[in-house]
Amino acid sequence: MSRYLVTSALPYANGPIHFGHIAGAYLPADVYVRTLRMQGEEVLYICGADEHGTAITVNAEAEGIPYSEYVARWRGVIKDTFDRFGIRFDVWSGTSICPEHPAQSQEFFRRLEGNGFLEQQESEQLYCPHDRMFLADRYIVGTCYLCGHDKARGNECPACGQELDPLRMAVAACRICGTRPEKRKTRHWYLDLAKLRDEHIGQWFQQHEWKPNVTGFIGGQLKEIGLRPITRDMSWGIPVPADCAGSETGKVLYVWFDAPIGYISFTQEWARMAGKPDDWKRWWQDPDSRIVHFLGKDNISFHCLIFPSMLYGVKQGYQLPWAVPANEFYNLQGGKFSTSEKRTIPIEEFCARYDTEAARFYLLASSPESADSDWRWEDFQATVNAQLADKIGNLVTRVLRFLEKNYEGVIPPCDDATAAELDRVLFEECGTFGDPAEFTRRFQFRRACEQLIQNAVLANVFVDRLAPWTLRKTDPVRAGAVLATCCQWIALLARWMAPFMPAKAGSVWEMLGNAGRVEEAGWPKLPVAGAWRTLPAGRKLGAVGPLFAKIEKETVAEELAKLAPK
RNA sequence: GGCGGUGUAGCUCAGUCGGUAGAGCAGCGGCUUCAUAAGCCGCGUGUCGUCGGUUCGAGUCCGGCCACCGCUACCA
């Protein structure tokens, strides 16, 4: 048994999250965590909001509210979305509210400096006298000195696609207020990534096994990597520790630097709340811990290169990531999700109209594991109707309703000889089945979904072969044994379903008359003939009802119409 | 420009160590009626983007090219 520390990329508290985020970094992690838990592993699932940075201050000021209020609102909205979709963290915090976070971030800065991995350098940057801040490149508009386009961003020209140096732009303005910025000198700290690479991280990266999209991406970056600034002139953030700052004032840690440290400080917060404040060390510094970071491809370099460099650089025995299941991007109907352009699926509206558990399944079944993929309404409909409702839902109702009508809603007995015979049919003649967790553990969620459905199909084949509706007329006891066998299989199915669709699995579990929660039944061993039945004969079934509502063609058409460009 | 990803049956995608191409959905045909008009069975020759190379043999390795998508670091 290992110990798994699972994280999902910290969502930036600057807006709502959409299905792309859920499919990429959160839902797979939730399913992974639930599966490992049912298998008896020790697991901790950490997340929280990323709450510093310029974008937040600019937007909060535009709204005229305090930064803390602004981030609190989005922290709440985002958490609400997770709750609605059944994504459950052991701790949900935020980088601006976690009590442990400032000290922990400063500790990293201090140790990195002490170990010689930081450098100070002076540079010229553009400063807006009106907004009284240094401007990030993206907050500068000006004329591209390469092609003459007059609305070029400081970092890149949208017209010619070239990278730009904002200091060279002849005509430049602050994108926030329009004022012409001035050049000012400022001093900052930089993380020496090349040194960290040469000392350990380069070798570590090459020895580690990664998904193909990770290997290719980082391989190139490793060669070019150099100094990366980790401080910034602003007030919203974690201050550079006083004992390191010297004469410098008004410097905070760059948001990308403090954000991943949040994984650690949130773990410390969790440990304190759990009444064992030192327990976080076991999760982060014990070689038996396996750290798993779920994220989208935009975060690959941070989690495979920069954060590992930081973890190594402090030299405090931190474990480096064990696995980084990085997903590609998830799009909407062939185009990007875009809240501002209303190319999105509003979460609240969606939840009022559709089944979030069905959405979980579809998001997993279409997840962007090896390439960008899409939410397509027609596919959502097909998956819900043909796979969930017809294959799983219908299996449950066809068996349980039969028992209600003809066997007084009680699981009939099945003697050992009959059980042995039926097992032979089930395991040898009805097709293949498998353990979805085998795929989940390898981060292959699409395949795990397929396996789940395949396991339900097996039971449908079994029912068809034995045809209890015919058998009942000549041999009702044997027909009962067939149906009892189906119930046993459905009980397995409920447990297999639990990580993917926890509420639906719970419903099935109750329909079978089980007390307690399905998660607590644990993950089933792969069934083998003669040793897999768990339900007692004579068990009274619960109320039987449809599991999944089908989605009408007209509904799909309406949704597609909403996305059509106006 | 640089880097990365993808390009396989109508659609969505699998193809581990190179050995005569697979699944699901849709479609067509049949069986069945317990069930949410559900279930089961049968039917798949597609230049594996393109050109060339390595090899006895390549979708699977190497190189050129084309198409689509993404990233390009002070953005979080």
Query: Kind and range of the H or E element at A375?
Result: strand A373-375
The C1' atom of B70 and the CA atom of A58 lie apart, in whole Å, by: 27
**Alpha-carbon dihedral sign for residues A119, A124, A129, A133:** negative
Q: How far apart are the C-alpha atoms of A469 and A296, rounded to whole Å?
A: 50
Nearest to A218, CA basis, from A321, A81, A288: A321
User: Which residue has tokens 């979030």?
Assistant: A356
Q: Quick check: ipTM above 0.85?
A: yes
Report residue A180's pLDDT band, with 50, 70 and 90 as the boundaries.
confident
Nearest nt to A56, CA vs C1'? B76
Give the Cα separation of A254 and A263 in Å (integer). 16
Residue A2 pLDDT: 80
pLDDT category of residue A538 using cuts at 50, 70 and 90: very high
Q: CA at A554, C1' at B37: how many angstroms apart?
A: 18
Nucleotides of B strand lying within 7 Å of any protein CB atom: 1, 3-7, 12-15, 23-26, 32-36, 38-41, 69-76
pTM metric for this prediction: 0.94
- Kindly tell me the burial class for residue A396, based on how many C-beta atoms sit within 10 Å of its own C-beta (0-12, 13-18, 19 or more): buried
Residue A417's pLDDT is 96
Query: Does the pLDDT value for residue A35 go beyond 70?
Result: yes
> What spatial distance separates the first Cα and last Cα of chain A, rounded to whole Å?
55
Q: Are the C-beta atoms of A44 and A6 separated by less than 8 Å?
A: yes
Question: Residues A176, A178, A184, CA angle at the centre, nearest 5°?
Answer: 85
A259: left (phi over 0), alpha (psi -120 to 50) or beta: alpha
Q: Which residue is nearest to nucleotide B7 (CA to C1')?
A: A371
Q: How far is the CA of A217 from the C1' of B71 (A)?
A: 9
Please provide the size of chain A in residues: 566
Separation of CA A212 and C1' B57 in angstroms? 27
Considering all nucleic acid strands, name the nucleotide whose C1' atom is nearest to the C-alpha of residue A221: B3
Give strand letter and number of the nucleotide nearest A9 (CA to C1').
B76
**CA A134, A138, A142, A143 torsion: positive or negative?**
positive
Residues 6+ apart with CB under 8 A from A163: A155, A156
Closest nucleotide to A125 by C1' from CA: B74
Up-side HSE of residue A46: CA atoms within 13 Å toward CB?
Answer: 28
Q: What is the pLDDT of residue A565?
A: 59
Residue nearest to nucleotide B41 (CA to C1'): A461
Look at strands A172-174 and A140-142 and give their pairing.
Answer: antiparallel
CA–C1' gap, A558 and B46, in angstroms? 35
pLDDT digits (tens, 9 = 90+) for A113-154: 999 999 998 888 888 888 888 887 778 887 777 667 777 777
- Tell me the CA–C1' distance in angstroms for A363 and B73: 31
Q: Cβ(A92)–Cβ(A45) under 8 Å?
A: no
Going by C-alpha positions, the residue among A486, A461, A505 that lies closest to residue A38 is A505
Distance A214 CA to B62 C1' (A): 22
Rounded distance in angstroms from the CA atom of residue A89 to the C1' atom of nucleotide B32: 47
pLDDT digits (tens, 9 = 90+) for A263-311: 999 999 999 999 999 999 999 999 999 999 998 888 888 888 899 999 9
Q: Lowest-pLDDT range, A263-267, A295-299, A441-445, A486-490? A: A295-299
Nucleotide nearest residue A300, measured CA to C1':
B71
Does residue A373 register a pLDDT over 70? yes
Which single residue has its CA nearest the C1' atom of nucleotide B75?
Answer: A138
Do A465 and A430 meet the contact criterion of CB atoms below 8 Å apart? yes
Query: Is A229 exposed, middle or buried, given 0-12, 13-18 or 19+ CB atoms closer than 10 A?
Result: middle
Is the CB of residue A193 less than 8 Å from the CB of residue A306? yes
Which nucleotide comes closest to A230 if you measure CA to C1'? B74
Place of tokens 């409920």: A494
Closest-approach nucleotide to residue A259, Cα vs C1': B76
Provide the CB-side half-sphere exposure for A404 (13 A, CA).
14
DSSP 3-state assignment of A295?
A: strand
In which residue are the tokens 């990323």 written?
A: A50
Q: Å from A441 (CA) to B17 (C1')?
A: 22
Q: Is A415 helix (H, G, I), strand (E, B) or coil?
A: coil
The angle formed by the CA atoms of residues A282, A285 and A288, to the nearest 5 degrees, is: 70
